[in-house]
């Protein structure tokens, strides 16, 4: 989901333990916007933290311990092939076909989730740089 589709943005709730480790690290990356992630079926109930770069979602963390990352085909395939992530269980929906997930049960899993978030963040940074370069060269 695009940040512009979210409506009013609420500050990200604090997270503890492995979730806090991942959330705190992501929020140090340049340009990252962290906001409350709302429950899909109860849109007034906080369900975790969303992370965006500009209008593009990097992914989100749920209070129940899952990381969902809005990756592309290459990032998704790489992490799934290495056993560092699982295909997103809602992949049948075309909006989520390349998303991946990691359940944060150990420090190693938390690091895998952080690496996945970082790979997706780096991809979005490259895309933004390419788009910026294209728009500058057409002026």
State the residue for tokens 């085909």: 73
Average pLDDT, the chain: 90
Q: Could you tell me if 82 and 113 are in contact, meaning their C-beta atoms sit under 8 angstroms apart? A: no
pLDDT band at 61 (very low <50, low <70, confident <90, very high): very high
What tens digit of pLDDT does each residue of 4-55 get?
776 667 889 899 999 999 999 999 999 999 999 988 888 888 999 999 999 9
Residue 9 pLDDT: 79
120 is written with which tokens? 């997706």
What is the DSSP code string of 35-53?
A: EEEEPSSSTTSEEEEEEEE
Q: State the first-to-last Cα distance of the chain, in angstroms, to the nearest integer.
A: 30
State the residue for tokens 């109930």: 45
Mean of the pLDDT values across residues 86-97? 89
Show me where the domains of the chain are located.
3-129
pLDDT of 124 > 60? The answer is yes
99 is written with which tokens? 């998303």
* Bridge partners for 52 per DSSP: 33, 57
- The candidate with the shortest Cα–Cα distance to 15, out of 49, 39, 38, 42, is 49
* pTM score over 0.85: yes
- The candidate with the shortest Cα–Cα distance to 58, out of 125, 10, 110, is 125
Residue 137 pLDDT: 42
pLDDT of 135 > 90? The answer is no
Q: What is each CA distance from 28 to 8, 43, 99, in whole angstroms?
A: 22, 27, 23
């Amino acid at each position: 989901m695009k940040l512009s589709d979210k409506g009013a943005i609420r500050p990200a709730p604090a997270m503890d333990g492995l979730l806090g480790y991942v959330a705190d690290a992501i929020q140090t990356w340049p340009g990252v916007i962290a906001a409350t992630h709302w429950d899909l079926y109860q849109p007034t109930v906080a369900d975790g933290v969303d992370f965006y770069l500009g209008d593009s979602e990097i992914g989100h963390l749920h209070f129940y311990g899952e990381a969902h990352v809005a990756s592309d085909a290459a990032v998704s395939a790489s992490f799934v092939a290495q056993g560092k992530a699982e295909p997103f269980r809602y992949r049948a929906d075309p909006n989520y076909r390349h998303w991946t997930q990691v359940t944060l049960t150990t420090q190693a899993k938390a690091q895998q989730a952080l690496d996945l978030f970082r790979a997706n963040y780096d991809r979005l940074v490259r895309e933004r740089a390419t788009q910026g370069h294209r728009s500058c060269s057409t002026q």
